[in-house]
Structure 1
Amino acid sequence: MGQTGAHRLVAALTEVGVDVAFGLPGVHNLPVWDALSERGIRLVGVRHEQAAAFAADGYARTTGRLGVAVVTTGPGAANTLAAVGEAMASASPVLVIATDIPSTLRRPGVTRGVLHETSDQQGMFAPVTKAGFTVEHPDEIASTVRTAARLSLRAQSGPVYVGIPTDFLSTDCLDRADAEPTELLHALDIADLERARQVLSTATRPLIWVGGGALRSGAGEAIGQLAETVAAPIITTFGARGIVPPDHPCRASNPVHAPEVGALWDEADVVLAVGTDFDGLMTQNWRMPQPPRLIAVNIDSADAAKNYPPDLLLRGDAREVVERLLVGLTPRPGIDALTRRLDEIEVRVRRRVRKEEPQAAEFLAALGETLPDGSVLVSDMCVAGYWVGGFYRVAAPRKLAYPMGWGTLGFGFPASLGVAAAEQGRAVCVTGDGGFLYGVGELATAVQENLPVTVVIVDDGGYGMLRYDQTRAGLPHRGVDLVNPDFVGLAKSFGVYADRVDGFGRAFRRLLREFTRADEPNVLVVSAELSPPLNTSPRWYRK
């Protein structure tokens, strides 16, 4: 006699190291909830399936481990799609486990009208996942889950879908052995490595451009050493923020969208690109010129070459390749002069920010001076979030979660629940009033699970970024000014302590310091209207 499919499923999750999952119960997946409680995996129950996938994404980003969302059939599964798309665009290892209608009621090629039936549930996920599986026999549940988990975590990481007919969960089944997937190892060409060393050694103005793949591989220390060895500035993408410490002598601490930082790209005679695909948001839709020489380090040769073709491609894990590049590389002079220049750029950019948007400067300073060590910032798609994503000094890897893979409004608050459940430090969510309302019901989740999260709602009375676009174009405001609830009263109705301040001055700092040192969830509402920063498309300087 075997265990039930639900027990095999949960055993497989335990085997791959899962200790937290996020989900919503439904008539088709209740056996999973029973099995999870018996096995000791913490199951955080959310109020909407989209929140389950966002939370799994937040958990994955802050830990580097597998995030798991457990949802029910049909509309329950479909509700996750926007969040899964964000995970795909940001290469987050998220496993979506969804039930499907009973296998006994399915007829090939026919949609019969069974409760929650979809003609092709796995097919819905195809555009937004790395891979998808539908279990065809109860004995395949555990092996499929293990395979999907490994695939999700393997570089380049990303979300994977697993669908399980609901009747399989209650069926006694065996655990079929799953064949270990074959990994194609691509040996680095010694001659290519030596050519890269030679190019970096003879460059007069080298630059290191670092993307999210480098952060996920843990390449920060090696990149920092390489930058000091060749006296090259480091520019990071949104996905790589925090990969080197804020006080690293080669770190350009502001986004490339600031002209002062963009000049480093324009002047470079060699760019070493590590773990990046040069997406449109970072390159101002590829208006940055092709560098004279480009060396790409990437696990995926197509990903490395799709936007800026490299002169030399070093295919492999970012950390391994950079560590091997360091071997035998002769140190170059110039580090002191480079550090002085980067300090000057920092002064000029900060002066620009204070002049153009003093409230944003005050906001960023308040975050930097009051947030406790180890806290994780989670931004939503909002003007305040864009300032955080571009200009906040991130202290360490995985201490900022920013939805600029797909640009998904409503990411911030539910993702912060996953960050908080990971117990990697207090989650501090920066969201706008519009984006917060996408997932406001998750305040109940925060209370029920007693998650350590502080939500900072910057309330400008609507969709501030879109309002700016309309104003800039000389258009009337349509659809952007919102009727909002009393956010403080609303939070308190869920049992969440909340308060409101005007602006980012002394009162904001005092309350932010108090709130982020509490044990329970809380909400701080700030009445303020910010103009967007240089890293938003209407303000890109390259034409």
Structure 2
Amino acid sequence: MAATGGCTGGERLADALRELEVDRAFGLPGVHNLPAWNALSQQGIRLIGVRHEQSAAFAADGYARATGRLGVAVVTTGPGAANTLAAVGEAQASASPVVVVATDVPSALRRPGVVRGALHEMSDQAAMFAPLTKAALTAESPDDVARVIRRAGRLARRPQSGPVYVGIPADFLTAEAAAEPLPADPLPAESTEVIHRVDVADLLQARELLSTARRPVIWAGGGALRAGAGEALGELAETLAAPVITTYAARGIVPPDHPCRASNPVHTPEVGALWDEADVVLAVGTDFDGMMTQNWRMPKPPTLITINVDAGDAAKNYLPDLQLTGDAREVTENLALGMPRRAGLTELSRRLDDIETRVRRRIRREEPQAAELLTALSETLPDDAVLVSDMCIAGYWIGGFYRVAAPRKLAYPMGWGTLGFGFPASLGVAAAGGGRAVCVTGDGGFLYGVGELATAIQEALPLTVVVVDDSGYGMLRYDQTRGGLPHEGVDLVTPDFVGLAKSFGIDADRVDGFGRAFRRRLREFTRSEEPNLLVVAAELSPPLNTSPRWYRR
């Protein structure tokens, strides 16, 4: 029933998102959620329309990674909601604060325990999201809409951050809501405000272990980056003369010229040796997942100290000798207080420079095209560019070996390893307004969301897409070749990507390899104010950070 006065549930939705400081969202309209589009527009929230609901959730994830703010996807009932699930799973695995707002079958058409066959109806829409989210919430009335949206936003951003689902029966959007929204309900008692109190004795013990260590190492994960712990970690590393090894999610947490930064992945033997030699490791904001530890073939260090907002997350793969539970930045700052400065910083910096030289020499020897790609990106991208890579061989090289200049300047889907992430996530990065988005994707992954070329041009997004075209799933082709197997399912017929992009009105070009022509066109494209696409005909071999090439056996 339409509201005759006062405020509707749709307007309550828009008001609550505004309270959460949401000024843009991503979505696809459907017959059930059209009132939400109207309400958000009236509140000045830019709702960017995509061509597939999965892209809406990927774009919300990209926006969240680039900004640290809440990413929001607005989708319709049933199949529309279901289409977001792969992207929601990636957001969960990468701890991205995303809220998926989906309409559900109108409450007036529901009968308890019966699927009547209303349009898009399913038995329990929220249950699809339960395994992939921090919470799956449903509004119980038009009055309840603002409350569940506020709760979802707070839950999504609270460490450890992650996605939250909100279901709203479609008729609640147009029904009249109470003059005053329901008050926000308190979050559970395990709120970070409660647990961020580290025992003084534990801090003293950690200081003693680190200050007396012969070869300390700092391992920084995505939780450290999301907490803004980079400066504190950098200062502590210099005090301890300890190398800083970063996970994929923490790339850029310390600047490229930091004397303690190990700029290459631990999957290289040269950096792996730093781990093997360590007598004390301080692990900040990490869970030591399989992709970073070569499926836990890295040995546990003699002494492991963890800093993590979630004690269980910190201990699930390597058992810590000492746990400091709390916010990564706050605990690291407190840990550094009174820490004596150790000698050896100059020697460490020289060793890390030598490791860098040896790793880059190895890349030039083993895969010169990858060396050209990495150099071209480093020398041509604008300083404020945000690089988004997909699950493709070029993306693996970037995820492991590209020198990320600052936090949140690389989005890489190695939380869940979700193919098709790159291009739609870059829509969210481009919409964030923090610098030009540069997406590097393969021909296979790009085709997952190729229809979003329409979104890019319609919304005039500052985005350059680099499609590395090897006419197939190059990583899987490598696996089959390495195993002496015939190529089955990995060779693809691909379109004329340049012609396809131009049919959408997008400037596009094609080059062979990552040499001079690639650099010239990449420089031109990334200085444009319009979206564009550059196709590169190249076939790369995979780097050491991909599982077939892990050196630990």
Aligned to 2:111: 107
Which residue of 28, 41, 44 maps to 2:45?
A: 41
1:270 is aligned to 2:280:
yes
Write the mapping of 1:215-294 to structure 2, written as runs, cut at 5 A: 215-294=225-304
* Aligned with 1:303 (options 305, 313, 324): 313
Aligned counterpart, 1:415: 425
Q: Deviations over 1:217-239 (max 9, x none)?
A: 00000000000001100000000
Match of 1:349 in 2: 359
Counterpart-to-counterpart distance in 2, 1:326 and 1:308: 24
Note if 1:159 corresponds to 2:171.
Answer: no
Q: Could you tell me which residue of structure 1 aligns to residue 519 of structure 2?
A: 509
Which residue number corresponds to residue 12 of structure 1?
A: 16
How far did residue 183 of structure 1 move? Answer: 4.5
**Aligned mates of 1:118, 1:66 — CA distance in 2:** 28
Give unmatched runs, 5+ long, in structure 1. Answer: none
Tell me the SS of whatever aligns to 2:356.
helix
In structure 2, distance between residues paired with 1:281 and 1:182: 32
- TM-superposed CA distance for 1:2, in Å, is 3.1
Note if 1:96 corresponds to 2:88: no
**Which of 196, 203, 218 is the aligned partner of 2:213?**
203
User: What residue in structure 1 maps to residue 184 of structure 2?
Assistant: 178
Q: Which amino acid counterpart does residue 410 of structure 2 have in structure 1?
A: L
Measure, in 2, the Cα distance between the counterparts of 1:268 and 1:253. Answer: 17
d(CA) in 1 for partners of 2:548 and 2:145? Answer: 48
Offset at residue 36 of structure 1 (A):
1.0
Q: If the length of structure 2 is used for normalisation, what is the TM-score?
A: 0.98
- The one-letter amino acid paired with 1:256 is V
Once the two structures are superposed, residues 249-300 of structure 1 have per-residue CA deviations (whole angstroms, 9 ceiling, x without a partner) of 0000000000000000000000000000000000000000010000000000
User: Who is 2:151 aligned against?
Assistant: 147
Q: Matches of 2:60 and 2:104 in 1, distance apart? A: 20
Q: Which residue of 2 aligns with 1:64?
A: 68
Partner of 1:54: 58
Q: Distance in 1 between matches of 2:453 and 2:131?
A: 31
Aligned to 1:214: 224
Query: In 2, distance between residues paired with 1:391 and 1:341?
Result: 18
In the TM superposition, residue 313 of structure 1 has moved relative to its aligned partner by: 0.1
One-letter code aligned to 2:61: D
Measure the CA separation in 2 of the matches of 1:115 and 1:171.
19
Distance of 2:341 and 2:184 partners within structure 1: 48
Which amino acid letter does the alignment assign opposite residue 191 of structure 1? A
2:547 maps to 1:537: yes
Q: What is the CA distance between 1:109 and its match in structure 2?
A: 1.2
**Correspondence 1:523 to 2:527:** no
Q: Distance in 2 between matches of 1:393 and 1:177?
A: 46
User: Helix, strand or coil: the match of 1:226?
Assistant: helix
**1:101-148 residue CA offsets vs partner (Å, 9 max, x unmatched):** 010111111111111001110000011111110111110000110011
Deviations 1:23-72 (A, max 9, x none): 00000000000111111001100000000000000000000000000000
Pair 1:332-2:342 in alignment: yes
- Amino acid aligned to 1:64: G
One-letter amino acid of the structure 1 residue matched with residue 452 of structure 2: E
- For each residue in 1:139-172, what CA deviation from the matched residue of structure 2 results, as whole angstroms up to 9, or x when unmatched? 0000110011000000000000000000000001
Distance 2:185 2:445 in 1: 44
1:123 alignment partner in structure 2: 127
Distance 1:218 1:183 in 2: 24
1:85 aligns with 2:89: yes
Separation (CA, whole Å) in 1 of partners of 2:440 and 2:545: 17
Letter in 1 for 2:488: R
In structure 2, distance between residues paired with 1:509 and 1:118: 51
Instruction: Return the offset for 1:181.
Output: 2.3
SS in 2 for 1:362: helix
Question: Secondary structure of 1:419's match?
Answer: helix
1:164-216 deviations in Å (ceiling 9; x for gaps): 00000000102111223254412210000000000000000000000000000
Matches within 5 A, 1:25-40: 25-40=29-44
Say which SS state the counterpart of residue 291 (structure 1) adopts. Answer: coil
Q: Equivalent pairs: percent with the same residue?
A: 76
Looking at structure 1, the residues matched to 516 and 188 of structure 2 have their Cα atoms a distance apart, in angstroms, of 58
1:339-392 alpha-carbon deviations (Å, 9 max, x no partner): 000000000000000000000001100000000011000000000000000000
Partner-residue secondary structure (3-state), 1:133: strand
Q: Which residue of 1 aligns with 2:496?
A: 486
SS at match of 1:117: coil
| Per-residue CA distance 1:473-518 (angstroms, 9 max, x = gap) | 0000000000000000000000000000000000000000000000
**Aligned-partner Cα distance in 2 for 1:179–1:273:** 34
Where do residues 428-443 of structure 1 align in structure 2 (5 Å cutoff)?
A: 428-443=438-453
Is 1:190 the equivalent of 2:200? yes
Matched, 1:496 2:506: yes
SS at match of 1:308: coil
Mapped to 2, the partners of 1:505 and 1:188 lie a distance apart of 52
**SS, match of residue 77 in structure 2:** coil
Most deviating of 171-180 and 449-458: 171-180
User: One-letter code of the match for 1:29?
Assistant: N
Deviation at 1:97, TM superposition (A): 0.1
Match of 1:23 in 2: 27
Normalised to the residue count of structure 1, the TM-score between the two structures is: 1.00
Which SS does the other structure have where 1:21 is aligned? strand
CA RMSD in angstroms comes to: 0.6
The amino acid of 1:35's aligned partner reads A
Q: CA deviation at 1:330?
A: 0.6
Looking at structure 1, the residues matched to 115 and 365 of structure 2 have their Cα atoms a distance apart, in angstroms, of 61
CA–CA separation in structure 2 for the residues paired with 1:106 and 1:248: 60
Shift of 1:318: 0.1
**SS of equivalent to 2:101:** strand
How many residues are paired up?
543
Aligned partners of 1:519, 1:188: CA distance in 2, in Å? Answer: 48
Gaps of at least 5 residues in structure 2 are none
The 10-residue stretch of structure 1 (182-191 or 32-41) with the greater mean CA deviation from structure 2: 182-191
Q: Secondary structure at the match of 2:72?
A: strand
- Cα distance in 1 for partners of 2:530, 2:402 equals 25
